[in-house]
Amino acid sequence: MAALMAAQAAVDAISGVCGVITPFPGGIVASGSKVGSKKYKFMGASTNEVYCPTLRDKVEGSKVPEGVKAVYEIVIDGVDGTDEFGWPGAELHIGDVVIALDSRRGRCPMTTVDPDTLEVDRGVLKDIIARFDGKLALNAEVLVPGTIRIGDPVDLVR
């Protein structure tokens, strides 16, 4: 429950940043939510398996501490154009938390599903693959864990 409360506080802090949205319902997704995407030959996996609690003992380099049963992702969207392509190597500071921003990651087939109608449009993913080499999001890692509170500033530090 503490992880979910921390993730919600982070989403609340992010909501105050102009031009930024969290595209998933409530702004939070379970880490490893795209398990199984490795079966698609046309793109790399987009699951964050090293942060998936159910895979802790099955993948090399798991970053999930013993006893942790839930890890949440905070998905930030609404960046101008392709600005995030220049973010690898930068840090995201939210409150006293520091998150390292790393390489771009492949998108999963869930991008083809309309969240309101659940209709599938494979053209969406094909377009992402054609225009962006299938990669739009960033891999990230928490460097300095801490508490994120409503109203905390969110800063990109390069």
Cβ pair 129, 112 in contact under 8 A = no
Q: What is the pLDDT of residue 36?
A: 44
pLDDT per residue over 129-139, tens digit each? 888 888 877 88
Instruction: Please write down the HEC assignment for all residues of 103-155.
Output: EEEECCHHHHECCCCCCECHHHHHHHHHHHCCEEEEEEEEEECCCCCCCCCEE
Q: What is the pLDDT of residue 123?
A: 85
Q: Which residues of the chain have pLDDT under 70?
A: 1, 18-27, 29-48, 73-79, 115-116
Q: What is the pLDDT of residue 7?
A: 77
Cβ pair 26, 74 in contact under 8 A = no
Q: How far apart are CA 29 and CA 48, in angstroms?
A: 11
Q: Find the radius of gyration of the CA atoms of the chain.
A: 16
pLDDT per residue over 111-127, tens digit each? 777 766 778 888 888 88
Residue 93 pairs in a beta bridge with 98, 155
Q: What is the pLDDT of residue 1?
A: 66
Mean pLDDT over each residue of the chain, to the nearest integer: 76
Q: How far apart are CA 33 and CA 113, in angstroms?
A: 15
Q: How many helices (H) and strands (E) does the chain have?
A: 2, 6
Domains of the chain, by residue range, sit at 2-157
Residue 67 pairs in a beta bridge with none
Nearest to 33 by CA among 41, 20, 23: 23
Q: What is the pLDDT of residue 89?
A: 95
